[in-house]
């Protein structure tokens, strides 16, 4: 059996601070139409896809911060994405800043959702590995205040079943999916926790500046590290990985593009080549995962978690001499 899902990595070029949600949504709709014209079943948009990457600025007022957040999903501005999904029968992954009242208090998360071909939200994820810092650091050329503006995600790495076929029973188009957001992709736990749930495709949106202020010596390696983590995460867990950037010079900050679709072999099978709005497409056979999940990375047969436990019991690192 082959279970082929045709996926579009729907990279977005820079989004100016002055650009409205509706203007961005227009750009996204154009990518959705292109994707449908090229036979896609779903598209993956970047992290925080609806606005500029606002954690690069320090804001004194919470009101200014909250203006970048979505209180409703869908909202008036994002409803066309859901309507178009239904009209084109095309699913999507969307990253956005979520402001929600939970347990009587207002909470801020860096969130992603998967919407199916009928325009229904089928899964939600809230970013766990928040990078950057929580205080204004004026020495930086630009800030990375995710730890100030977001809370750590509280939904875990939870795999879910999704169906991209014509009807709910169409087993040929069913698969096990997972989500992650940007910095999560650098952590092996992300892939392994989803891998242990049998994930077959991990969807990841990101915004990655080329320049890393605390470690500028990494700048020249930013593409290498981007590919390294997603390729190894795919291979070591026998899963497809779709990584999609918000790219280009956004408000004076250069962001990597390098959106890629990685096969369970670890090979890159499609890639964006610009730093603008661009679609990279791959026909992804979910059954390719089995070749890795039943041999080299047959977890039930080859993992040795009881032995790893002994290392954990040593309570961390070996003390210095």
Residues found near ligand CDT in the complex (CB under 6 A): 47, 131, 182-183, 186, 206-208, 212
Query: Is the Cβ of residue 212 or residue 290 nearer to ligand CDT in the bound state?
Result: 212
| Residue tagged active-site, from 40, 47, 246, 289 | 47
284: which 2 tokens? 């992804």
Query: Is the Cβ of residue 208 or residue 231 nearer to ligand CDT in the bound state?
Result: 208
What is the smallest separation between the CB atom of 24 and ligand CDT, expressed in angstroms?
17
Query: Is the Cβ of residue 174 or residue 255 nearer to ligand CDT in the bound state?
Result: 255
What is the smallest separation between the CB atom of 244 and ligand CDT, expressed in angstroms?
12
Based on the residue annotation, tell me whether 127 is a catalytic residue of this protein: yes
| Residue tagged active-site, from 40, 127, 284, 293 | 127
Based on the residue annotation, tell me whether 182 is a catalytic residue of this protein: yes
| Residue tagged active-site, from 70, 98, 146, 182 | 182
What is the smallest separation between the CB atom of 209 and ligand CDT, expressed in angstroms?
6
Query: Is the Cβ of residue 74 or residue 131 nearer to ligand CDT in the bound state?
Result: 131
What is the smallest separation between the CB atom of 130 and ligand CDT, expressed in angstroms?
7
Query: Is the Cβ of residue 34 or residue 212 nearer to ligand CDT in the bound state?
Result: 212
What is the smallest separation between the CB atom of 36 and ligand CDT, expressed in angstroms?
29
Based on the residue annotation, tell me whether 272 is a catalytic residue of this protein: no
Annotated catalytic residues are: 47, 127, 182
């Amino acid at each position: 059996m082959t279970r082929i899902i045709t996926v579009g990595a729907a990279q977005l070029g820079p989004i100016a601070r002055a650009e409205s949600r509706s203007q961005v949504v227009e750009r996204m709709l154009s990518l959705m139409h292109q994707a449908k014209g090229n036979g896609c079943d779903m598209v993956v948009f970047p992290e925080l896809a609806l606005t500029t990457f606002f954690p690069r600025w320090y804001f004194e007022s919470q009101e200014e911060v909250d203006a970048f957040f979505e209180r409703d999903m869908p909202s008036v501005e994002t409803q066309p994405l859901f309507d178009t999904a239904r009209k084109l029968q095309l699913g999507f992954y969307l990253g956005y800043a979520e402001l929600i009242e939970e347990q009587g208090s207002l909470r801020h998360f860096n969130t992603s959702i998967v919407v199916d071909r009928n325009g229904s939200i089928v899964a939600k994820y809230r970013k766990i590995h928040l990078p950057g810092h929580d205080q204004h650091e004026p020495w930086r050329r630009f800030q990375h205040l995710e730890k100030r503006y977001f809370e750590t995600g509280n939904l875990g790495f939870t795999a879910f079943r999704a169906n991209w076929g014509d009807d709910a029973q169409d087993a040929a188009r069913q698969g096990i999916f997972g989500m992650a957001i940007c910095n999560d992709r650098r952590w092996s736990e992300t892939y392994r926790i989803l891998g242990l749930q049998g994930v077959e495709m991990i969807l990841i949106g990101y915004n990655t500046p080329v320049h890393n202020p605390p470690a500028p010596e990494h700048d020249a390696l930013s593409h290498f590290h981007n590919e390294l983590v997603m390729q190894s995460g795919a291979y070591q867990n026998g899963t497809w990985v779709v990584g999609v950037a918000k790219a280009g010079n956004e408000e004076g900050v250069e962001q990597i593009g390098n959106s890629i679709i990685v096969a369970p072999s670890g090979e890159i099978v499609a890639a964006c080549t610009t730093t603008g709005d661009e679609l990279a497409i791959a026909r992804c056979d979910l059954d390719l995962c089995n070749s890795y999940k039943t041999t080299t990375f047959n977890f039930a047969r080859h993992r040795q978690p009881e032995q790893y436990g002994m290392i954990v019991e040593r309570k961390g690192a070996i003390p210095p001499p």
